[in-house]
Amino acid sequence: MEAEAAKFIGAGIACFGMAGAAIGLGQIFGNFLSGSLRNPSASQGQFTNLLLGFALTEALGIFSFLVALLILFGA
């Protein structure tokens, strides 16, 4: 196999890591929604925690995207 082809396959495989971040984000927003529907008055106070969890989880998906980019464009 050519090295160039292996590079593209590797970048594609690296993107699988984003599935984990997707599951995590779904968990966060789903659980927030179910919690805030049970107790709507408490949801306002937890909005910053929601965004914090969103950013922390999303970063992990970005890491795998970064690995794919490094494979594609890196030295």
Q: Which residues bind other proteins (CB under 8 A)?
A: 51-52, 54-56, 58-59, 62-63, 65-66, 69, 73
24/37 with CB nearer other proteins: 24
Least distance to other proteins, CB of residue 16, Å: 16
Query: Among residues 43 and 63, whose Cβ is nearest to other proteins?
Result: 63
Residues in the chain, total: 75
Closer residue to other proteins in complex, CB, 33/70: 70
CB burial of 38-63 (b: ≥16 within 10 Å; e: otherwise) equals eeeeeeeeeeeebeebeeebbeebee
Which amino acid appears at position 68 of this protein?
A
